[in-house]
């Protein structure tokens, strides 16, 4: 018995640390809202199930806090919308969602070393703001190390429309856990 205990202790002390399948944890950063929680859980489940990568979610109080975390590389994948991205870039609002997406996509890559993926299939719009696309945004080095991510994340764009998205948010705001809502939705679409 003592010998077995000694072997276990020896292995624990001298074994190299275990890593995820790809050797790194991917950190998803979102603003801590119902919307952010649902999208983050969807991304986390989808990436983990499809690639075997370990994923952690980090919640931030504001878009500015999220942007600061991205700048210091605490976040590998963020979820952002074009209206707020224009504010981060100190650019005036653009009423055309397609034009805003192209502007932030080009500016983020050139000025911040970040790549906007294809937008999800829903838009944010209310009485105050123009329609705004939401998309996953990756650091260029993350994209280089995980080239399958755009294809994997892109699967959400084909199934998340405005109606479906609003139903998911309402279910979370009514008390359903974001992780359960996200996983149930992904399973219903046979994505996991």
Predicted pLDDT at 21: 41
Across 117-146, average pLDDT: 83
- Among 20-29, 55-64, 139-148, 181-190, the minimum mean pLDDT is found in 20-29
Q: Which of 131, 36, 136, 137 is nearest to 93 (CA)?
A: 131
Predicted pLDDT at 20: 36
Please report, rounded to a whole number, the percentage of residues in the chain having pLDDT higher than 70: 84
Domains and CATH numbers, the chain: 20-188 (3.40.190.10)
Mean of the per-residue pLDDT values of the chain = 85
pLDDT band at 11 (very low <50, low <70, confident <90, very high): very low
The enclosing H or E element of 157 equals: helix 149-157
How far is 164 from 122, CA to CA, in rounded Å? 9
């Amino acid at each position: 018995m003592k010998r077995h205990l000694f072997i276990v202790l020896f292995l624990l002390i001298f074994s190299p640390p275990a890593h995820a399948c790809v050797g790194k944890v991917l950190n998803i950063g979102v603003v801590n809202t119902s919307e952010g929680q649902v999208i983050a859980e969807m991304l986390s489940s989808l990436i983990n199930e499809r690639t075997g990568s370990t994923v952690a979610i980090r919640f931030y109080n504001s878009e500015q806090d999220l942007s600061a975390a991205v700048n210091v590389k605490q976040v590998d994948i963020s979820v952002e919308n074009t209206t707020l991205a224009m504010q981060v870039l100190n650019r005036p609002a653009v009423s055309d969602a397609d034009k805003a997406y192209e502007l932030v996509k080009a500016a983020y890559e050139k000025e911040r070393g970040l790549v906007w993926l294809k937008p999800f299939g829903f838009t944010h719009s209310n009485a105050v703001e123009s329609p705004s696309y939401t998309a996953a945004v990756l650091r260029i080095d993350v994209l280089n190390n995980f080239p399958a991510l755009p294809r994997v994340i892109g699967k959400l764009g084909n199934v998340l429309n405005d109606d479906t998205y609003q139903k998911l948010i309402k279910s979370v705001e009514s008390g359903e856990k974001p992780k359960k809502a996200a996983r149930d939705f992904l399973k219903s679409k046979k994505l996991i």
